[in-house]
Structure formats: C-alpha cells, structure tokens
Amino acid sequence: MTFAWPWMFLLLPLPWLAWKFLPPTAPGVALRLPQPVALAQHAAASRIRHWRVWIAALAWGLLVCAVARPQQPAPPQAITHTGRALMLAVDCSGSMAIEDMRFGDTVVSRFAAVKAIAQRFIKLRSGDDVGLVLFGTQAYLMTPMTFDVDAVANQMGGAAVGLAGRETAIGDAIVLAVKHLSALPARARVLVLLTDGVNTSGSVAPLEAAKLAKAAGVRIYTIGVGSSAQTLDAFGFQFAAPDNQLDIQALTQIADTTGGRFFRASDGDQLAAAYQAIDALEPLASGHSLLRPDREWYPWPLALALLLACVLLPWNRGRMRKTVAA
C-alpha cells in the first residue's frame, strides 16, 4: 500500500493547532442552576465530550488518510499498441444541429450522425493513442492523448451542439490538435477533422494551420459533413435543403498539404465509409508496453470518516434539546 500524496499527513495536527492557538469564543450568558443539578450535568457533559473528542479525532485521521490517496499497485498488464497517435477534432457549432443526414431510414442531425459513428470508430482504436478536440467559436481539448479509448468514446457521447460556441474555428482546432500530437514521440501522427462549414472564427487561418501541421509531421484527414441534396423528403413532402456552406476547396487543400485526404460524407453510410478508409490508409506499427494500474482505496477511509461524522450529529442534537428544555 502506498500513498499518492503522502504530504497530506502534515494536516493531521491542524485541529490541535487551531484549538491551541486560536482565541476562544466569547462566553455566553451564565445560567445559574442548583448545585446538585449543575454537577450532574457537568459530569455527563464531560463523559460525552470525552467520547466525542476521540470519535472526531478518528474521523479527522481517516479523512486525512483519504486525501492522501492510498493506492495498491495492481499486477502489470501487457498492452499492444500500434505506435499511432490519432486525434479527432469534431465541429460542434450551431449548424451541426441541422437535420439533413440520413442514418438508415431515419433523418438525424449532422452532429448525431457524427457522434454515433465517431464513438464506434474510437472504440475500435484499441492500441492507438487517441484524443478528442471539440471546436466551435473556440477549440477545446476534451480528452488528452490516452490509450483509454472507452474514456474518449464516453467524452464524445457527452458532447452537444453549441458546447464550444455557435461559430466555426477550424484553424484553431488544427493548431490545438497539432500542439498535443507533436508533444508525443515521433510516430504516425494523424488528425481527423470533421466539419460542416467554413472557418468563421478563431485567430489562425486553416491553411496556415495546415502548414504548421505539415512541419510537425501531422497528417490531416478532413471529412465534410452535410447533405448534398437540394431537397429533403419528410412525411411525403419536398422541402428545400438547408444551405450547405461547406468549404470543400479549403478542406481539400488542408488534406493535400499534410499528405492526407478529403472525404465527403452526405449521409451516415458515407461517413462510416470515410472512417473505414482512414483506418485502411494508416499503417499499423505494432509494439508492446507494460501498464501497471493503481487501485484506489481512498473511498474506504472517506466513507468511514463520513460515518463517524454522522455518529457525532445525535450528540449535538441531544445536547441542543437538553439546553432548550433547561
């Protein structure tokens, strides 16, 4: 058993130091009682106070122990990794809420289609170092590069339209992804960029960001999302399709500059096919490493400390009732 933060045990004498050096509270108005009653109440209160002090001290010790994070190293596990670092940059601007993507027999929003297929794609990336960037008006790193693909998939599942703003900062998303990919050792660095519009926000132009990615050895695959149809069928009626402002030329230039490829995804099947093509294009360089996870034991002392704190509550409530009755 080890402690992740053993210096937290320096907090153990904190209650004693507070009792020793802090000024006492101002005394209340004295209540005069007959001598036998006062002595009996004083003796009972002394016994109660004695047990309460010990229980409180034990609860404090357990709480400090929990804060120090006791851990137990688990047996080492062999991990097979591909040597590939893959970052997903997903557009969650306001236009991604447009419902023009056909997913089987159902028409869903662009973001719903991207989320469903991206989660499936991420979970199949076992062995890859995977990360997630969401961008709208600004770009945010949702999940740093990790081998825990389930955690990345869960973060993708919790994303929503407008989470990063209503506009589209493609260039900033590329720069942020390149920053985290280039921090890793040299390997197959891949960025999959999904968007449905043009760059309308941010401080970096997309083509300038692509040149930065090329210099860092990052290959960018761009996927343009959104229906290419002029009309949509709904309940037997024809409706004009929403304006599609997808900048195909810019996305193609970004991919060509970095040695990647542009994919057009106007429905769920094409989006899934784009992911499959990216998976087939990227080489796999297998390797092995050992992972030694730590089992966290802090919930146990924390639960015991809370339980002891609950034990102290009836004493306070009982003393308050006696005081009110007196």
282 vs 116 pLDDT, higher one: 116
53 vs 91 pLDDT, higher one: 91
In this model, does residue 16 exceed pLDDT 50? yes
Mean pLDDT of 16-28: 76
> What pLDDT is recorded for position 31?
55
- Sequence-distant (6+) residues with CB within 8 A of 287 are 80, 81, 82, 83
> What pLDDT is recorded for position 206?
92
> What pLDDT is recorded for position 241?
44
Q: How far apart are CA 199 and CA 132, in angstroms?
A: 19
Q: What is the pLDDT of residues 199-256, one digit of tens each?
A: 888 889 999 999 999 999 999 999 988 776 544 454 444 444 444 567 888 999 999 9
Domain boundaries, given as residue ranges, for the chain: 2-19+35-73+294-325, 78-289
Confirm if 190 and 223 have CB atoms less than 8 A apart.
no
In this model, does residue 116 exceed pLDDT 70? yes
DSSP class of residue 164? T
φ, ψ of residue 148 in degrees (nearest 5) = -80, 85
139 vs 20 pLDDT, higher one: 139
Whole-model pTM: value is 0.62
Choice among 125-139, 234-248, 289-303 with the minimum mean pLDDT: 234-248
Q: How far apart are CA 218 and CA 88, in angstroms?
A: 12
35: tokens are: 């001598």
Q: Where are the alpha helices (DSSP H) in 84-226?
A: 110-123, 149-157, 170-182, 206-215
Q: How far apart are CA 113 and CA 119, in angstroms?
A: 10
In this model, does residue 42 exceed pLDDT 90? no
Q: How far apart are CA 194 and CA 121, in angstroms?
A: 13
Q: Where are the alpha helices (DSSP H) in the chain?
A: 14-21, 35-67, 110-123, 149-157, 170-182, 206-215, 248-258, 268-281, 299-325
Partners of 191 in the beta sheet? 87, 220
Confirm if 218 and 88 have CB atoms less than 8 A apart.
no
Say whether 57 sits in a helix, a strand or coil: helix
Q: What is the pLDDT of residues 186-199, one digit of tens each?
A: 667 889 999 887 88
Q: What angle do CA 160, 166, 171 make, to 5 degrees?
A: 100
Mean pLDDT of the chain: 79
Domain 78-289 belongs to what topology? Answer: Rossmann fold (3.40.50)
Say whether 318 sits in a helix, a strand or coil: helix
In this model, does residue 100 exceed pLDDT 80? no
